[in-house]
Structure 1
Amino acid sequence: MFSVLPLLAGLLFLAASLTPSLIPRDWLMQGVLAGVSMAAGYVMTQFLLALWRALELPVMKGRPARIAHAVLAVPVLVLLGRGVILSGTWQNSIRARMGMPDLEVNNTAKMLALALAVFLVLFVIGKAIQALFDLLRLRLARYIPVRSANVLGLLLAALIVITLTRDGVVNWAMRIADSSYAAAQHLTDPNVAPPGEPWQSGSVASGIDWELMGKPGRDFVLGGPRARAISGFTGRPAREPLRIYVGLAQDKDPDTRAKVALDEMLRVGAFDRKVLVLASPTGTGWMDPASYDALEYMHGGDVATVAVQYSYLQSPLALIFETEAGLDQTTALMRAVYDHWRHLPPDRRPRLYLHGISLGAWSSMYAFNPFQMMNEPVAGAFWVGPPFPSTLWRQANDARQPGSRFVLPELDEDEVIRYASQYAPPDRSGREWGRLRILFLQYGSDPIVFYDPASLWRAPEWMREAPAPDVSPRLRFTPVVTQLQLAVDMLVSTSAPPGFGHTYHARDYIDGWVAVTAPEGWTAADTERLKAICGQDGKLGCANG
């Protein structure tokens, strides 16, 4: 039933999948990854053998083949045994860096059983595809030469599988995901009434429909510190922060949603504030309170933040299946807000900042047009966890100084663009910022940032450097398997504790906002006091500080 060489290759891939990557894996995710890796090794080797035979190259048979298989099996089984024994130690090497408890030792058997089950399911699917290919090529061979029938049968089988997968399974799964996430937007406490203050989005006086705002928007509008809490922290009078949020259900057209947001900004006086933040949410529309709460504290509440939702999906799914939605929406909002802002008198308009987290960082970067802003630039941008396809982020990385690390680049004199992590604050160089301040906050263990499609066949650039402090020194590159590991890492990137992976900590937002916005009269002691009330005891923000 099983071919020996492909099976040995599959076991080798399984062993390699047990090595650590960026995010710790429990037995469930490791079992799935191991099964998929084993299937990938099996299929690839089977394909190479089929190609070898198609080229009519000599094939070892009989007793010599059995002896060769036995010889090859020894090192493969040794490596597999070593991987199984050390898999817990490897995963704990990441968990220790993230302050997580060690894995339970009795999970290995469950992981291997799941890996085998996943492999068998994929093996059966593969056999079904092979049967389809055989059926097509044999039917075609009745009318055309055998070699042509084989080629055409392969192409037809591939076309059928791709069509069924893309238009059938994938579309079905996306409809289910989209409807479930859309339903989740309305999972809010029915006792929570719309805001009572007229200056709040979703209130009776607002042009934004409270029921169409969605749960992420409602949480954002109702959350955050009030003026009284801010004043208690600063010891000075404070203003009520303005939070404007337009839900995806408000209108199907991104330009219309952008206009609704601009009208709301004008209604509540957002352009009269000291700081104006043009924010782009994550894929689901979530706005991380750890970031926005801290900014409002450090500027005495004299802040207006505007955001428009563009998707219901989690960022990894939205990144793949709804790429244009976020880019179009943030561009429309940027165009509307910036056009109004630049026509205001320079001494009477707020400092305008761009901000985005995860997929929001990518869309915010996409909307940033330096040629359009050359004469009237924004004050700065703070982009957190920028996804790997982000063009501006990649261009900045490519322009880093020779010898500068890929995970934490240095550019020129740090006058415009800087990088920071949980171990490297943005002002560590001590140099002066320029007129425009752009900051990338990224963790070395964040797969959303450091996933590399080319890791299918070569090690990513960051893997060829000394590992970041939050990355296991036991991480190793294996073709194909590393690609699968990083893909799984992306799916579970937010399972890491705050301060690691794709879960950004309040303290790092605080350092970032202080560096980018330079709050008036702010001191290092103020930074430490704010950190003491933000992100503590499992809180996401600092609203109750």
Structure 2
Amino acid sequence: MTSHRYAQWLRDSAFGSLPHPAISIAVTLGYLAALYPGTLPRDTTITAVLTTVFSALGACTGRVLARRSRGRPEEQARRIVFGSCLVILGSAVGMAVWWQNLIRSAVDVAPAGVGWCAAATLPAAVVVVAIVAVPRTAAVVAAGALALTAGLLAPADAGADEQRLPVSSSAQHDPGTLLRGELRVGEFDAAAADLARSWTASGGLSARAVVVAVPTGSGWVDSAAVDGFGSRFAGDVRVLTLPYDQVPSWQAFVSDRSGSAESAIAVVSAVATVLDSVPEHERPRVILYGQSLGAVGADAARVWLENEHPSLLDETVLVAPPAGTVALLSRTPRTVLANSSDPVVRWSFAELWRPHGATGDTHVRGPRVPDAPWLPVISFVQTSVDLLGALDGAAGVGHRYGPEQAGPPHPLRN
């Protein structure tokens, strides 16, 4: 091949010139959106997938815009835009590493190193080059990769939600404290009445407190909370819980949240029926507790008690309620606990257009992580990505909580 023919081939090939400015700008914007920080550490796999997908979307968008643009940009314009974008991208990677290490330091995780930087840059660069240079081949490969990724990233049960429930006995007794009712979907009143009878038979009326713990979707109650209530009341407490489904919490949240509220109201109604015949000074303290989806049911039970038995309820403890699912105000003492890095308490579709607002009685717990300014759409995406690792940390990080769930920082009364 002569030098003249080589030069002609180079000019005509996909690599004969720098990308159209629309492609450079769109890829840069997509990459910046992918690197915008959340509140939890990002591992290399999630980082690689996120930056690659957003950069690929930017490249595809840029190609469409370039095809629709009139005229062919001069080479100098391409060089200026391309060089400027490279500087911005390099600065963004440095900023992302710095922010990532701030988060990791706060939650006691090893700092991001060379491997994290490579994951954040190399896969995205390869995919963008492929889309720009050989778009048809890249489309075929991307379709196969998307199908494989969809299978590998199918939603998993939320860690603790893997606990399976017995459904044959009217109440299951865990040593010391926890009494679990029978799962009877659609028959919560009967199941709650059986649970209340088991509670009184166990000597619950003479205990210092009774905690109605609304479980998550699969019927799970955090053992750290049970231990916390046991310590708070020196073991003189009964924790009552009635399962309402056998699916993971996220499935129950998406498909039907009513079971959480209906079962919780059934239990507090049965407890109230028993306590109505007990002199007020002899009654145990009545506490409502719920974590995650369980907090939704616990808050519904609080409203019911405030309307039907306003003097019966001592306090309500809600842990990590999903954003926008509980009332902003309470007529009775209520404490809402949320880890600083928990994405569950921020995630809602409303975050697409406005920042999350916490209730006035929310106590922020756990290590304080840096919080990036809210941006429309982008913050919602980053919060959604954080959900993937919300259960990976220790207590106090993400959606993991410890014995502090047992009550407010300063107990209301002894």
Which of 471, 484, 488 lines up with 2:381 in the alignment?
484
Q: Which residue of 2 aligns with 1:17?
A: 34
Cα contact 2:24–2:81 (8 A) shared by 1: no
Which of 64, 87, 102 lines up with 1:93 in the alignment?
102
Q: Which residue of 2 aligns with 1:356?
A: 290
Cα contact 2:261–2:297 (8 A) shared by 1: yes
Runs of 4 or more consecutive aligned structure 1 residues displaced over 6 Å after TM superposition: 1-4, 43-47, 116-121
SS in 2 for 1:495: coil
| Cα separation, 2, equivalents of 1:7 and 1:255 | 62
SS in 2 for 1:337: helix
Q: Structure 1 residue 92: deviation in Å?
A: 0.8
Q: Which residue of 2 aligns with 1:539?
A: none
Q: Structure 1 residue 437: deviation in Å?
A: 2.4
Cα contact 1:181–1:312 (8 A) shared by 2: no
| Cα separation, 2, equivalents of 1:252 and 1:46 | 54
Shift in CA distance, 345/321, structure 1 to aligned 2, threshold 3 Å: same
Shift in CA distance, 14/329, structure 1 to aligned 2, threshold 3 Å: farther
| Cα separation, 1, equivalents of 2:170 and 2:252 | 28
Shift in CA distance, 458/381, structure 1 to aligned 2, threshold 3 Å: closer
Which of 308, 311, 314 lines up with 1:376 in the alignment?
311
Letter matched to residue 63 of structure 1: P
Shift in CA distance, 379/492, structure 1 to aligned 2, threshold 3 Å: same
Q: Which residue of 2 aligns with 1:515?
A: 410
| Cα separation, 1, equivalents of 2:257 and 2:284 | 31
| Cα separation, 2, equivalents of 1:41 and 1:81 | 17
CA RMSD in angstroms comes to 4.2
Residues 339-348 or 356-365, more deviating = 339-348
Which of 346, 350, 354 lines up with 1:450 in the alignment?
346
User: Unaligned regions of 5+ residues in structure 2, if any?
Assistant: 1-13, 141-146, 359-363
| Cα separation, 1, equivalents of 2:62 and 2:214 | 45
Q: Structure 1 residue 487: deviation in Å?
A: 0.6
Cα contact 1:12–1:80 (8 A) shared by 2: no
Cα contact 1:37–1:481 (8 A) shared by 2: no
Q: Which residue of 2 aligns with 1:295?
A: 229
Q: Which residue of 1 aligns with 2:211?
A: 277
Q: Structure 1 residue 114: deviation in Å?
A: 5.1
Residues 328-337 or 95-104, more deviating = 328-337
Q: Which residue of 2 aligns with 1:190?
A: none
Shift in CA distance, 479/294, structure 1 to aligned 2, threshold 3 Å: closer
Letter matched to residue 472 of structure 1: P
Give per-residue Cα distances to partners, 1:58-113, cap 9 Å, x unaligned: x432236x765554433332222222234322211111112222123323223445
| Cα separation, 1, equivalents of 2:56 and 2:219 | 36
Q: Structure 1 residue 21: deviation in Å?
A: 1.5
| Cα separation, 2, equivalents of 1:477 and 1:68 | 33
Letter matched to residue 244 of structure 1: L
Cα contact 1:380–1:516 (8 A) shared by 2: no
Size of the alignment, in residue pairs? 377
Same amino acid, percent of matched pairs: 26
Alignment of 1:284-363 (within 5 A): 284-363=218-297
| Cα separation, 2, equivalents of 1:74 and 1:484 | 28
Q: Which residue of 2 aligns with 1:424?
A: none
Q: Which residue of 1 aligns with 2:44?
A: 27
Shift in CA distance, 262/10, structure 1 to aligned 2, threshold 3 Å: farther
Matched, 1:207 2:166: no
TM-score under structure 1 normalisation?
Answer: 0.58
Cα contact 1:13–1:481 (8 A) shared by 2: no
Shift in CA distance, 441/458, structure 1 to aligned 2, threshold 3 Å: closer
Shift in CA distance, 287/251, structure 1 to aligned 2, threshold 3 Å: same
User: Unaligned regions of 5+ residues in structure 1, if any?
Assistant: 54-58, 129-164, 188-193, 195-200, 211-217, 223-240, 397-415, 418-435, 520-545
Cα contact 1:447–1:489 (8 A) shared by 2: yes
Cα contact 2:163–2:220 (8 A) shared by 1: no
SS in 2 for 1:383: strand
Which of 366, 374, 393 lines up with 1:496 in the alignment?
393
| Cα separation, 2, equivalents of 1:74 and 1:478 | 26
Q: Which residue of 1 aligns with 2:5?
A: none
Cα contact 1:32–1:118 (8 A) shared by 2: no
SS in 2 for 1:37: helix
Shift in CA distance, 351/83, structure 1 to aligned 2, threshold 3 Å: same
Alignment of 1:68-107 (within 5 A): 70-107=79-116
Cα contact 2:208–2:285 (8 A) shared by 1: yes
Cα contact 2:264–2:298 (8 A) shared by 1: yes
SS in 2 for 1:282: coil
